[in-house]
Structure 1
Amino acid sequence: MIETLKHWDEELFIFLNAQHLDWLDPIMFGISGKLIWLPFYALLVFLIIKNLGKGSIWVFIGIALAILFSDQATSGFMKPFFERPRPCHDPRWEGIMFNYKHCGGMYGFASSHASNTFSLATYLLLTFHRKVKGFGWMFLWAALVSYSRIYLGVHYPADVVVGAIVGILAGFIAWWLVIKIKMTTIRKVEEMDKQEE
């Protein structure tokens, strides 16, 4: 069963990876990078502070936790545990698959790019769904970044799908933890105020 799923995953990778255009290659490479998204991250910081003011500190704590959980789950645990080579490191695909400029570390299951972007999207959606409309579009951003990893030949489809699932779980856990920590902190502050009275 596992071998069958693995075979389907590889076949889908070869098909998707073959759908590339010369002019799109550097764009996808940029989408997969970090520098191109700095203005986007700056806008997110601005929107968070604008809507929450001092309360935004809790959001930034949550974002840090979400990305920490997702990154450690994929890069810290899953990649060294499963040891599934990236397609660009697999000699079977030499001359068959497309890889643009960079391959990355040896192992690719599961994708940290997918897990980190989906954890951020999930956390912000859960945090702001009642306050600010439109954060759902961040899942399109996360999906685009994830797809770029297949396009560039550094991940199989299963790598990014599982990475996305890990990211969604990490975002939810971070959101839940921040609520619990925030409630506990507020309760303790109120108790201290009562004692001082």
Structure 2
Amino acid sequence: MDILHSFRELDKVLFMLINHDSDSKLLDPVMMAIREPLNWIPLYAFMLWFSFAKLKENALAFIITTLVAFAFTDLMCAQLVKPFIGRLRPCYDPELNGMVRSLVGCGGAYSFPSNHAANHFVLATYWFYAIRHYLDKKWNWLWIWAAAVCYAQVYVGKHFPSDVLGGAIIGSLVGVGIFQLSLQLQFTYNIKKGMYHK
């Protein structure tokens, strides 16, 4: 119990360092923009174009798998993990009452894991491995993009650092799992297609 208590205290110290002590009038609008899903529509539009322009016959499978990965991760975190863990957001934490800079409002009561972190890391992970598989390209910028969203969630006061870390881990694991599953399904489909043509 002492280790768990120490971890929680460290988590709150790191939260205050990022949310309260590192505040900046210049960074505030930047961080709010980074975590806003609507601001990433150009990226999603680019990925849609990229799918059909570069992945060719694999484009539809790539898009469907992306949607499935996102929906599965979002629902799992919001409907299963958050209610089960039941950790309060920083703005609802009695120990931090009056100290949290809530730049975008408080939102729902539960904090762990961060859906933003899980959703962005499942996309980053699946896209990274899928594009490396199909095109032999390493899009390392995807990790920076997902990590920036995670940091912004703490900065604006929505989550503790451990919330975004937990979300990042969940999203990464789901992303790898779905990528592996997609490879297996593609392999099975190709075998059946080959047998059919014979």
- Counterpart-to-counterpart distance in 2, 1:142 and 1:29: 14
Residue 69 of structure 1 pairs with residue 76 of structure 2? no
Residue 113 of structure 1 pairs with residue 122 of structure 2? no
Instruction: Tell me if structure 2 keeps the 8 A contact 1:67–1:170.
Output: no
TM-score normalised to the size of structure 2?
0.92
Residue 181 of structure 1 pairs with residue 185 of structure 2? yes
1:160 alignment partner in structure 2: 164
Task: Give unpaired runs (5+ residues) of structure 1.
Answer: none
1:9 alignment partner in structure 2: 11
Match 2:143 to one of 111, 125, 139: 139
2:85 alignment partner in structure 1: 82
Residue 128 of structure 1 pairs with residue 131 of structure 2? yes
Q: For 1:119, give the aligned amino acid.
A: V
Q: For 1:92, give the aligned amino acid.
A: E
Superposition deviation, residue 132 in structure 1: 5.2
Superposition deviation, residue 28 in structure 1: 1.4
- Counterpart-to-counterpart distance in 1, 2:104 and 2:63: 33
Q: Which runs of 4+ in 1 moved over 6 A?
A: none
Instruction: Tell me if structure 1 keeps the 8 A contact 2:131–2:138.
Output: no
Cα distance per residue 1:120-157 (max 9 Å; x no partner): 11111111125153511011000001111000101000
Instruction: Tell me if structure 2 keeps the 8 A contact 1:121–1:136.
Output: no
Superposition deviation, residue 78 in structure 1: 1.1
Residue 34 of structure 1 pairs with residue 37 of structure 2? yes
- Counterpart-to-counterpart distance in 2, 1:183 and 1:134: 22
Instruction: Tell me if structure 1 keeps the 8 A contact 2:31–2:152.
Output: yes
Q: State the identity as a percent.
A: 34
Q: For 2:67, give the aligned amino acid.
A: A
Q: For 2:174, give the aligned amino acid.
A: A
Task: Give unpaired runs (5+ residues) of structure 2.
Answer: none
Q: For 2:189, give the aligned amino acid.
A: T
Instruction: Tell me if structure 2 keeps the 8 A contact 1:63–1:174.
Output: no
Match 1:24 to one of 22, 27, 31: 27
Superposition deviation, residue 187 in structure 1: 1.7
TM-score normalised to the size of structure 1?
0.92
Higher mean C-alpha deviation, range 124-133 or range 152-161 = 124-133
Instruction: Tell me if structure 1 keeps the 8 A contact 2:70–2:122.
Output: yes
